[in-house]
Structure 1
């Protein structure tokens, strides 16, 4: 597939918006930009991003979080299936997860269409949303591939073999685009006759202040990602932008950012992660992939080590040799004989809890950004003096970040978690959070005051450790990026990796090799670092 001559349009709109009989369709002829208006395809684009990020795009069958859940040592292969050789050996190929590339560029084509049409036809807020989401999606590509087509991308038949831009240069433009999108939203308020955003916005329901807050939080993610390079110019830019961002007029996100197009327990309408790793329509039987993956022993040990009550919302218990009763059982990454899910076998491993955090239900929303990620990122910026406030502000954001994780973990299938400011002991997750903090007063992996300024249990390390726990499976992509950036926490390498270290990136996909070989950077392997990956 030539990613610049064909867009993949996964239609995921509520019946009220589209009236379509099917929930996810593929439109293979998007080359008539004047035939659609931005409000008609915005929900399509947003729902496709959700499917690409977690679950799977119906046209590619892959997602970023599925890849990253193995790479970040959250998931291992269960004993009920063979395969997963790339995950166990780190011997990647150009076909491994290649659908991420085509699925993301297809999605970007949709946003590009919205931006161009919105700007030209009186939909300035739709155009600004698309501008923000283009950064969100291009960031996913840069962080997994490095240099990519950017400046000359998305030109359809006008350029089917675009040149590649340097990853660090693309990062510079991300800052320009996000700040520009916020300015566009502010300017749109004064535009006479500008179309407002309505129910087609399946993220914020037309609340443009929240879109500006999301843009600011996304900018924080970007700046923190490149904050440990050895490039003096980049470091100076990060310092300047961080301080400016801290005083941004609209602030940052206050809750998890989620996509909710109207997921339902009907064929082709279920939450994409639930549909792939959960249960079939009507809860009649688990999907095939439900039994293929299981938690790693590493992530299970972190939860049990810290008496973390969140584990009860994540996994079923199972049996393992040497245990007289059921307990939480994971598999070591690359383990030769992994625990199985056969009920009659005494080696029964844990799996995703039906009705728990990962499999809340077929109607649960899809997360694009966790509030816990944002708050813990802000805490890291403060403890490293990239933002003002020092250790006092860092500790507050650190504790609020952990609490936000508990609110997400214990929320119900329909209601999005509330704000930290409005949480009480009646809010699901607050009591469990208080119990967790009280049980770990002497634990430097939890108690911020006990974490040294530097060292293996330094404050940055402890913040990233808690962030890792919060992002389990729901936002594995961000945990994987943080590990490559800062080498924290000390996750475990696969037992079958041989002499291979952790991978650093994905190969350029075979589809791109077939159509744009002359422009692909040479000499890259899965061990070639992205420019911001400088800490081992």
Structure 2
């Protein structure tokens, strides 16, 4: 793998072969790729699979630690950055490298797709480039963008302003939607290589719209962008709609080395044995209490009881007994978090789509008013039940609880008629509505899309989860606000990389609330 400024087409295809343990390889010889290996339909499946790894495994892991979902089990060494937030330039630096590698693959598809007879693939790649770039901007702020992915012609790309990149996201997504709709009807749609929507281009348009809504809502508290955000969200009112099902990457995971669901492989079991990291972390007492105190049936689908019959979590920075013992609740096997070796990798939840719409309506960005927002709010909660209750294909019969979604969802609502964080009708003002929307979004994203949960906390300051007791931050909430630029970028592009960046004070442009 190489620094993004030095990536060539060959290096991009090499990442396809080596970056994911040869899963869904598209090259027979990565050092001398054939012309066939450059065809977009051969590259798309692997590119989407890598995005699933980056979002669900890498970014979700980081987000789950810093957003208060996970804490360290006692008796385990390491995790200094997670416990204290004292980051270095090498902490999570592979996220930067691997995401840019993934972007280069999408760039090849977007560039070569139309001429090669794959216009749908090119539009999909354009959408996914926005998805990848947003992950980078939300963790680093200013990044190489307009001069990125240029290979040898630009080996030290300039850094673009994060706010400018965000505006271009909307332009690129609009272009992708237009391109999809302009493809002649007789043109073949993607087939099995589309491991997300299986060639359903209507769903790709809805995903692009939902991604637009996420991007616009993310920057909606920046005072100077208020009119821009309102105007752009208003255009979505007459769009083709938003996603109503979870956006899942499913290449056909197998119980074979290098081909399992990446989260299961890392935190539950390899094909040969229990994963080592299984005993290194668990759910925090805070997040477990949010389900327990609200009589939330999802609790039993996410965690198992400790040996005393209660649900016990960890306190960040506190000493706790090893997770391998029975004193701490661990994630439930074949439950909502640890679904199975062949479970798909989520990159956006239907629950998030509904909660974004609820916020947009409650703030007057979309029509529908308070009533429409309340419907979306409840749909978001129910969609969370659907995700957590949907089993992996290989899940044993006694763990299949999908049929309980509606009864458990209604039980949850009935048990919380006076709970302001569950019953929409108890909201008295805009702040209360936002608080409960983000709270329920937080519960829905638990250990699934932790990176988004972390970004939403920074954007809204909700919910008020406790930071690590060992935090090195001087902030009131004791939390960091970003990742640091990677060491290899500092070493190879020193003239362009922003200076003076600090993980506790250098906020992303949309992070304006305290």
TM-score by length of 2: 0.92
Secondary structure of 1:290's match?
helix
From 450, 465, 468, the equivalent of 1:494 is 468
**What is aligned with 1:211?**
204
How many Å apart are 1:200 and its aligned residue?
0.5
Does the aligned pair in 1 maintain the 2:16–2:22 contact within 8 Å? no
From 80, 95, 113, the equivalent of 1:100 is 95
From 270, 276, 287, the equivalent of 1:299 is 287
From 250, 263, 267, the equivalent of 1:277 is 267
Does the aligned pair in 2 maintain the 1:122–1:195 contact within 8 Å? no
Secondary structure of 2:347's match?
strand
- Kindly tell me: are residues 11 and 310 of structure 1, through their superposed partners in 2, closer, same or farther at Cα, counting changes over 3 Å? farther
**What is aligned with 1:129?**
124
Does the aligned pair in 2 maintain the 1:411–1:429 contact within 8 Å? no
How many Å apart are 1:426 and its aligned residue?
8.0
- Kindly tell me: are residues 415 and 122 of structure 1, through their superposed partners in 2, closer, same or farther at Cα, counting changes over 3 Å? farther
Cα-to-partner distance string for 1:208-256 (whole Å, 9 max, x where unaligned): 111001000111110100001121xx211110111111210x2111200
**What is aligned with 2:398?**
none
Does the aligned pair in 2 maintain the 1:373–1:401 contact within 8 Å? yes
Cα-to-partner distance string for 1:121-144 (whole Å, 9 max, x where unaligned): 221100000000000000000000
How many Å apart are 1:32 and its aligned residue?
7.6
Secondary structure of 2:346's match?
strand
Cα-to-partner distance string for 1:147-170 (whole Å, 9 max, x where unaligned): 000000001111111000000000
- Kindly tell me: are residues 465 and 22 of structure 1, through their superposed partners in 2, closer, same or farther at Cα, counting changes over 3 Å? closer
From 272, 284, 297, the equivalent of 1:309 is 297
Asked if 1:437 is matched to 2:413, the reply is yes
Partners of 1:88 and 1:25 in 2: CA distance: 40
**What is aligned with 2:390?**
411
- Kindly tell me: are residues 164 and 94 of structure 1, through their superposed partners in 2, closer, same or farther at Cα, counting changes over 3 Å? same
Asked if 1:230 is matched to 2:190, the reply is no
From 483, 492, 496, the equivalent of 1:519 is 496
How many Å apart are 1:25 and its aligned residue?
8.6
**What is aligned with 1:3?**
4
- Kindly tell me: are residues 175 and 441 of structure 1, through their superposed partners in 2, closer, same or farther at Cα, counting changes over 3 Å? same
**What is aligned with 2:374?**
395
Q: Which consecutive residues of structure 2, in runs of 5 or more, have no partner in the other structure?
A: 396-400
How many Å apart are 1:9 and its aligned residue?
2.7
Partners of 2:196 and 2:370 in 1: CA distance: 33
From 244, 254, 262, the equivalent of 2:235 is 244
How many Å apart are 1:329 and its aligned residue?
1.1
How many Å apart are 1:522 and its aligned residue?
1.3
Partners of 2:22 and 2:49 in 1: CA distance: 16
**What is aligned with 1:341?**
323
**What is aligned with 1:261?**
251
**What is aligned with 1:534?**
512
How many Å apart are 1:102 and its aligned residue?
0.2
Secondary structure of 1:261's match?
coil
Partners of 1:415 and 1:441 in 2: CA distance: 37
How many Å apart are 1:286 and its aligned residue?
1.7
Partners of 1:415 and 1:263 in 2: CA distance: 10
Secondary structure of 1:212's match?
helix
How many Å apart are 1:415 and its aligned residue?
10
From 318, 326, 329, the equivalent of 2:309 is 326
Does the aligned pair in 2 maintain the 1:12–1:47 contact within 8 Å? no
- Kindly tell me: are residues 195 and 116 of structure 1, through their superposed partners in 2, closer, same or farther at Cα, counting changes over 3 Å? farther
Partners of 2:32 and 2:222 in 1: CA distance: 40
Partners of 1:486 and 1:254 in 2: CA distance: 24
TM-score by length of 1: 0.89
Does the aligned pair in 2 maintain the 1:202–1:260 contact within 8 Å? yes
**What is aligned with 2:156?**
161
Secondary structure of 1:518's match?
coil
- Kindly tell me: are residues 229 and 28 of structure 1, through their superposed partners in 2, closer, same or farther at Cα, counting changes over 3 Å? farther
Partners of 1:21 and 1:4 in 2: CA distance: 24
How many Å apart are 1:341 and its aligned residue?
2.6
**What is aligned with 1:60?**
none
Query: How many correspondences in the alignment?
Result: 498
Moved more, 181-190 or 162-171: 181-190
Does the aligned pair in 2 maintain the 1:378–1:397 contact within 8 Å? yes
Does the aligned pair in 2 maintain the 1:116–1:127 contact within 8 Å? yes
Partners of 1:305 and 1:47 in 2: CA distance: 37
Does the aligned pair in 1 maintain the 2:75–2:322 contact within 8 Å? yes
How many Å apart are 1:195 and its aligned residue?
4.5
Q: Which consecutive residues of structure 1, in runs of 5 or more, have no partner in the other structure?
A: 14-19, 56-62, 320-324, 417-424
Does the aligned pair in 2 maintain the 1:162–1:519 contact within 8 Å? yes
Partners of 2:263 and 2:237 in 1: CA distance: 34
